[in-house]
Amino acid sequence: MPRSSAFPMDGVPIDLWLDWQEPAIVVPYAKAREKTLVQYRIVLDKQGSAGRSHISQGGTVLLNADVATPLSRMGVNRAPEDRCVIEISVRPDGEPPVVKSFDCPR
């Protein structure tokens, strides 16, 4: 499971990661050290011989302190030769966004 820590300027530290579930489900997670309301956006960009897919989801969620919170649940069907990237962006109220990109696992 890829995991990444991100720290907004002068803000609340937020961890972002992806949980891959078989056969082809991805669940992006966020966790903050303090109770924090965030806006989030998840973008999946996949390109291969069959064409290009661009999926975007977003919303607002309350992150409770030290609780892993799923932001979405997405199906990802991918051929081995496809290029696939998932970007998670979260913006705590009044703070700059925290953005992390992950390659889709093969």
The whole-angstrom separation of Cα 95 and Cα 38 is: 9
Q: How many domains does the chain have?
A: 1
Q: In CATH, what number is assigned to the domain containing residue 22?
A: 2.60.40.2420
Q: Helix/strand/coil (H, E, C) string of the chain?
A: CCEEEECCCCCCCEEEEEEEECCCEEEEEEEECCCEEEEEEEEEEEEECCEEEEEEEEEEEEECECCCEECCCEECCCCCCCEEEEEEEEEECCCCCEEEEEECCC
29-65 pLDDT tens trace: 999 999 999 999 999 999 988 889 899 999 999 999 9
- Enclosing domain of residue 23: 3-103
Nearest to 3 by CA among 34, 40, 25, 31: 31
8-37 pLDDT tens trace: 445 668 999 999 887 788 899 999 999 999
